Amino acid sequence: MNKIKTSLLLLIIIPIIGFSQNKKQTLSKKEQRKERPTYISVTTGMSLSNFRDFATSPLVYNGVSGYISLSHIKSDQQRESEIGFSYSSGIYNNIFNNHSTISKVRTASIYYSKLYQLSKLSSEKLNVKIGGLFNTTGNFRINGDLNNNAYGFEFSPTLMGSVKITKDISRKEDKNKKFLFIKYKLKQKTRDLAFRFNVGLINSSFRNGFVYSGQSGIINEPNVFDDYQFKLFSGFRMSSALDYTVSLKNKNKIQLSYLWGAYKTGGDLDKFEMAHHTIKFTLLFNTNNK
């Protein structure tokens, strides 16, 4: 795993020093940035998730949560960048020995991504990009059955290495089709299918110790972050995304995606684990009409 992390870290650095530059580019960097299509991305969806917090219990909680996100995207064949925010909220349940326990979970993430084309591996129909993703995720949980430890709260900042492969599956010309006795026409359509894979290179966490017990409550000086510790190079994270994108005549786009992600913090008795499967629908509004 260390070899994989080292390789992906190099993949982030190499494009920055010019390896992924397209030699055929004639525009200046300023002109390229100006010409690059820019979008505002608005997303809604649903997540099927589960988590386990060994600081309070080894039980696994499962639930469905609503998902929304908002981001700013700049993307063309050579480069792609995105900065955004996502939020999900849901109720998670565990049933053990005929006893049901409820945990209300709120999850928020702030992320920034940068990808560069690998021209050596790309073609007219296939585009390969590599780069990195910085994602900081915060979880806030309320579980009344845990009494004094009812509230759980942590941050998980992660620097990830990324690979994205995009396949152009556009319909270049109109096609006449027939199903039984029904004739219909398929019009030209610009669309693509993309798969992205991310793996954590620098994993970290900011959370408190075993059973969330600090000393601030005892001495009547409440402190939300009492006994919290920041751990660097600790834990594990991985995610992937499959996107189907269709371009509209007005230069906007619609996108249907499936996301998978899983991570855990470091530690022995007090580690936290979470995984999710998300289906989302996105509207991408073109802001420069390129």
Q: Please state the separation of Cα 251 from the chain's center in Å.
A: 25
Q: Which residue has the higher pLDDT, 82 or 181?
A: 82
Q: What percent of the chain is modeled with pLDDT above 90?
A: 53
User: Of 49, 263, 83, 82, which is closest to residue 156 (Cα–Cα)?
Assistant: 263
pLDDT digits (tens, 9 = 90+) for 267-283: 777 889 999 999 999 99
pLDDT digits (tens, 9 = 90+) for 15-68: 444 444 444 456 666 666 677 899 999 999 999 999 998 888 889 999 999 999
Mean pLDDT throughout 81-105?
92
Q: Which CATH number fits domain 2-18+38-286: 1.10.10.10, 3.60.15.10, 3.90.1150.10, 2.40.128.100?
A: 2.40.128.100
Residue labelled with tokens 């849901």: 90
Mean pLDDT of the chain: 84
Mean pLDDT throughout 235-250?
94
For residues 5 and 161, is the Cβ–Cβ distance under 8 A? Answer: yes
* Total Cβ atoms within 10 A of residue 220: 6
pLDDT of res. 21: 47
Q: Which residue has the higher pLDDT, 138 or 175?
A: 138
